[in-house]
Chains A and B, each alone.
Chain A
Amino acid sequence: MFVRLQAEPFDPGEELNAFVAGREDTGALVSFTGTVRSTPDRPVETLTLEHYPGLAEQRIEAIATETIGRFDLADLGIIHRFGSLTRGEPIVLVMALAAHRQAAFDAAGFVMDFLKTDAPFWKKEAGPDGERWVEARAEDDAARQRWKR
């Protein structure tokens, strides 16, 4: 298991290849990549990701540990950027490796649902109309709730 927070860009393909290198004992790899979205309705040039240093790492580590304990995984990797990003760039990568697909799918979804609401990051978009803080979505809280048991 690893968790990495970084200001530098990363290449999801390279990360994925490195993550599974030599892992012939596992049959299922699920990855999720979140990228900076820009649409005609809401054009974005840059995205600034503010984070709470220390607590952000600690929270993602805690989410990763809980995920490992809850699903039957062979390995889990999480990369999250902070600082300044441009449109289209990857923000977050979750990689879940398991013997069978369901655990890998569920683990990737679980990590993302908790990252959205429990990791101290805040997005600020900048476009031709100026800057705005991205608002938290009620759907994100609802998505997190579905894992309650």
Chain B
Amino acid sequence: MKLVYFAWIRERLGRAEQAVEPPPEVGTVGALLDWLGETDEAAKLALADRKAVRAAVDDELVDHDASVVGATTVALFPPMTGG
């Protein structure tokens, strides 16, 4: 699974993307965020404020209870500020 990061989440993590292999019990975006926080100190800090983390799974904007099973790309980013 490829993770891609944007805006201040990318900056706080110090990377724009990474490949990960979460265990099978990591079934949702929320579980993926928990697992990332446990395995990586920078991720724990960058993703601590869950309400400020938005996600897209394979190019679809989703909530934290959405499935990541079989996903190719999961994007994590703060609330959008375009327009």
Q: Which of A129-149 touch B at CB < 8 Å?
A: 133-136
- Give min CB distance, B20 to chain A, whole Å: 19
Of the candidates A54, A58, A117, the one whose C-beta lies within 8 Å of that of B80 is: A117
Question: Which of chain B's residues have a CB closer than 8 A to the CB of A80?
Answer: 82-83
**Do A133 and B80 have beta carbons less than 8 Å apart?**
no
Question: Which of chain B's residues have a CB closer than 8 A to the CB of A92?
Answer: 82-83
Question: Which of chain B's residues have a CB closer than 8 A to the CB of A95?
Answer: none
In the complex, residue of chain B having the shortest beta-carbon distance to the beta carbon of A80: B82
- Give min CB distance, B55 to chain A, whole Å: 11
Of the candidates A119, A133, A135, the one whose C-beta lies within 8 Å of that of B83 is: A119
Of the candidates B4, B6, B56, B79, the one whose C-beta lies within 8 Å of that of A136 is: B79
What class of interface size applies to chain A in its complex with B? 20 to 34
Interface size on B, residues (CB 8 A): 15
A101 CB–B CB distance under 8 Å: no
Tell me the complex Cα distance, A119–B4, Å.
Answer: 16
- Give min CB distance, A95 to chain B, whole Å: 15
Question: Which of chain A's residues have a CB closer than 8 A to the CB of B61?
Answer: 59, 118, 120
A104 CB–B CB distance under 8 Å: no
Question: Which of chain B's residues have a CB closer than 8 A to the CB of A118?
Answer: 61, 80
Of the candidates A115, A120, A134, A135, the one whose C-beta lies within 8 Å of that of B77 is: A120
Q: Which residues of B contact A (CB under 8 A)?
A: 4, 6-8, 56, 59, 61, 75, 77-83
